[in-house]
């Protein structure tokens, strides 16, 4: 039996690139989900009343905000762990925005609104990864 090789040292540059790729993926997923929601809404636009249209607009604004946060984090302009308001960090605020987007997006389609849980899961994982001086 051959002796096992020691574990390689972690590469911080590779970790940073992987983190950025995952954040870009979250941004792309969010844009695609928004496009699917918009196409679903426009397909059945005659069924919507004023409150449903308000929900569509709020959901769209939430998706734009989430995409902006993911892009800013991918470009390393900010971090999910950055304190924004009091004890709340950016990840916690984006979770609140995500909940609003899901609740208001249900008028369009349950499936696409719940698809927003994929970027939330990825950012939850990234938020809880240990970082050694990374943004």
According to the 3-state scheme, what is the secondary structure of 91-111?
Answer: HHHHHHHHHHHHHHHCCCCHH
For 42, the token pair is: 């426009």
Residues 6+ apart with CB under 8 A from 37: 56, 59, 60, 63, 105, 108, 109, 112, 113
pLDDT on residue 132:
54
pLDDT on residue 6:
65
Chunked mean pLDDT (size 10), the chain, 135 residues: 67 86 94 89 83 88 95 93 90 93 74 84 86 52
pLDDT on residue 134:
46
pLDDT on residue 52:
82
> Rounded to an integer, what distance in angstroms lies between the CA atom of residue 6 and that of residue 70?
35
pLDDT on residue 15:
83
Which of 9-18 are b and which e, b meaning 16 or more Cβ less than 10 Å from the residue's Cβ? eeeeeeeeee
Distance of CA 53 to the CA centre of its chain: 23
pLDDT on residue 130:
73
pLDDT on residue 42:
85
Tell me the β-bridge partners of 89: 83
pLDDT on residue 31:
95
Residues 6+ apart with CB under 8 A from 67: 27, 30, 31, 34
Closest residue by Cα to residue 91 from 125, 57, 64, 60: 125
């Amino acid at each position: 039996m051959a002796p096992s090789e020691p574990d390689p040292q972690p590469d911080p540059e590779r970790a940073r690139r992987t983190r950025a790729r995952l954040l870009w993926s979250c941004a792309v997923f969010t844009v695609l989900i928004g496009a699917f929601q918009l196409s679903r809404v426009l397909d059945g636009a005659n069924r919507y009343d004023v409150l449903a249209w308000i929900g569509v607009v709020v959901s769209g604004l939430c998706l734009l905000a989430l995409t902006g946060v993911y892009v800013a984090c991918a470009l390393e302009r900010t971090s999910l762990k950055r304190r924004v308001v009091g004890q709340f960090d950016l990840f916690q605020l984006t979770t609140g925005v995500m909940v609003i987007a899901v609740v208001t997006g249900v008028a369009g389609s349950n499936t696409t609104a719940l698809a927003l849980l994929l970027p939330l899961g990825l950012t939850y994982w990234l938020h809880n990864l240990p970082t050694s001086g990374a943004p």
